[in-house]
Structure formats: structure tokens, C-alpha cells
Amino acid sequence: MSRSTEGVEDRIVAKTVDLAEIPIIDFSPFRHGGEAGKRAVAAEIARACTEIGFFYLKGHDVPPKVLGDTFDQSKAFFHRPVEERRASAATLQWYRGWIPMPKREGALDRNSRLFEQYRIQADFPDVPNPDPIFNRPNRWPEDMPAFRDACETHYAAMLALSRDLLRAFAIGLDVAEDTFDGYFDLPICQLSLLYYIPIPEGSDVEVSNTVSHTDEGPLTILAQDSVGGLEVKRRDGTWISAPPVPGAYTINIGDMMMWWSNGKFISNFHRVRNKAGVERFSIPFFLNPDRDTIVAPLPELVARDGGVANFEPVHVATHLKRFYARLEKSPGDFL
């Protein structure tokens, strides 16, 4: 995630606006509605990606049990005593598993990071890979086999849904439907189980659980519990709430899809502020391409934009490594 450096935007308290601002899109005609259904859904998605970079997706055919099981396991894990959570803690050398909240020193501020995480990444044991950060296996709580099952099932379901979404993006961008297919043979995605504590009452207005940021990869598929707290920046700089919609995923464009689309699709700023007074769970799936993909504005779109490429080509593994290294060096990441 790209962390924004400005602070002023966080001072503007989000106002809840009509949900119409983040559309709820039914994906079923894309798969079951013939060519016309496909094009209509792709057009709706493209509009949302162009205007705000976020949309809700229902009709995705992911069985509710897949999500229910992962939330149940996540809750069970984060409710364990800290010594048991620590048994599957990430280390600087093996950055998968449980990542605690930073130690608190002094007053909370916008960078306080008020959440714990369980991080799961692509796991390709048979593929030679020179980067320790990408070639380590996942860590699992050894005495919770159902935890691993739920996460692996969830990961596979999100990757499958992502493949269809990439096709919808391509159609919406008016390029060949299979434009992105070849970049996702062994994609280095990430699934995070997130556990947010409530922001203490009386905290400064700037305090967030997650600072304002954009996501790094092409797209994120987020499952939220019923608590709410996600906020999305509008073009005019104000913030709106993106509350959970039952049965729908919250989907957003990340930086790499913005680059591929030459800026047509927006990788929008968002943040989490859990003001509900209760704990919150969420599960984002961060789609990433294959490690050696070079992401650059698609030539068809550059041509349409008068030959102007708005972004430089980026090597996926180099970019993500730089990002993870920044995260790893955040002070107090490890208790």
C-alpha cells in the first residue's frame, strides 16, 4: 500500500453519503447473461473504476460458507491469548503469519496502526525463486487445521473471482478480453486477516486504524464484517463511508490497474477508522501479477491518449519488495 504523506485530508471528517456514490454491481449477468450481459456489467464496473475506484460486487457466486468459515477462524485466532498468537508470528526473515500492533508510545496519531494482521501469501513450493520474501511457505497456527483450510479455500475463491474481474476490466477498457490473462500464471497475491481495535473515545480526529493509502496491486477484494469504518476519498477531497453491504464484496482498483489503464481507472485513497466502539474484522485479498511482470500503460490506451504514457513501467517483484521492506522497517512492527 502506498502511504500518503499528507495529513490535511485526514482532518476532514467523513460524511456518510448516499450509497449510490459507490455502486452495487450484480456480477451474475457477466457470467450467465450472454455477450450483452457481459458488456453491460463491464460498462458498469468501468464507470465505477473511472469515477471513484470502488464498487460493491454481489452475484459473485462465492458460497457464503467460504467467507463465514474464514471470519470464524479469524475471530478464533485473534481471540487466542497473545502467547498462542505469537507462536505463528511473522519475523523479519519470514514475513508471513501474525503481525501484532506496534508498541504504543505516547499519544495516538494518524500513523498509530491500530490493527493486528495475519498475512498469507502465494505459496509455490516447487517454483525456483530467488527472493526470500516470495519463496517462503506460509506459516500456520499448528493446532488450528481448520484455519489453514478456510484461508486456502478463501484464497482460491478470490483468485478465481479476480480472473473474471480482470476480463471485465479489459472489456470495460475496450481492449481484448484476455489482455491481462497472461500476467497471472503464478500470481504473488496476499490474503490478510485484519483485526481492528476500536479507536479510543476522545482520540484526536486524525487518529485512524489504517492511515490513508492506496493499494499496490491491480485490485483488492475486501470482505467486511458488519461493523463498518472503511472510508473512501472523493475527487473533491471529502471522505465518504464505505459501509459493508451484506453478501457483497467491496472491491477497489489499486495502483497497478491505474498504471495499466494509463490513469483511466483510479487507485483511490482509503482508510479505516473504527469508531463503533467494538472490534472489527475484515479480510482483504490483494491481487498481484506474476513476479516478473512489467506493468506499463497498455499500448492501445497510450495510443488513444495521443501517444502519452502517464506512468513508467514497473517490475512487479522489485516494486513489492521495496514496499514490503518499507513495512518491515516500520518501528515497533514486532513486539
Ligand X SMILES: O=C(O)CCC(=O)C(=O)O
DSSP 133: H
Nearer to Fe ion, 69 or 215 (CB): 215
Helix axes 34-51 and 145-172, enclosed angle (nearest 10): 90
Residue-wise burial string across 169-205, b where 16 or more C-beta atoms lie within 10 A, e elsewhere: bbbbbebeeebbeebbeebbbbbbbbbbebbeeebee
Q: Which stretch binds ligand X (CB under 6 A): 34-42, 78-86, 137-145, 222-230?
A: 222-230
Task: Looking at residues 16 to 45 of the shown chain, list those that interact with ligand X (rule: CB under 6 A).
Answer: none
Burial of 335 (0-12, 13-18, 19+ CB in 10 A): exposed
- How near is the Cβ of 250 to ligand X at its closest, in Å? 7
Mask of contacts with ligand X, 226-245, x by CB under 6 A? ----x---------------
Nearer to Fe ion, 215 or 231 (CB): 215
Per the structure block, which three cell numbers stand in for 303?
Answer: 495510443
Question: What's CA 170's distance to the chain center, in Å?
Answer: 20
Q: Segment 174-213, which members bind ligand X (CB under 6 A)?
A: 194, 210
- The reply to whether 1 sits near ligand X by the rule CB under 6 A is yes
272 makes contact, choosing from ligand X, Fe ion, none, with CB < 5 to 8 Å by partner type, with: ligand X
Nearer to Fe ion, 71 or 285 (CB): 285
- 116 contacts ligand X (rule: CB under 6 A): no
Which of 69, 116, 215, 225 touches Fe ion (CB under 5 A)?
Answer: 215
Q: Based on CB atoms, which residue is closest to ligand X, 139 or 270?
A: 270
User: 75-83 contacts: CB < 8 A, separation 24 or more?
Assistant: 75/281, 76/144, 76/147, 77/118, 77/141, 77/144, 77/147, 77/193, 78/116, 78/118, 78/193, 78/195, 78/279, 78/281, 80/141
Shortest approach of ligand X to residue 231 CB, angstroms? Answer: 9
Kindly report the number of other CB atoms within 10 A of residue 24's CB atom. Answer: 16
Report the nearest approach of ligand X to the CB of residue 215 (Å).
5
Residues making contact with ligand X (CB under 6 A): 1, 194, 210, 215, 222, 224, 230, 270, 272, 282, 284
Residues making contact with Fe ion (CB under 5 A): 215
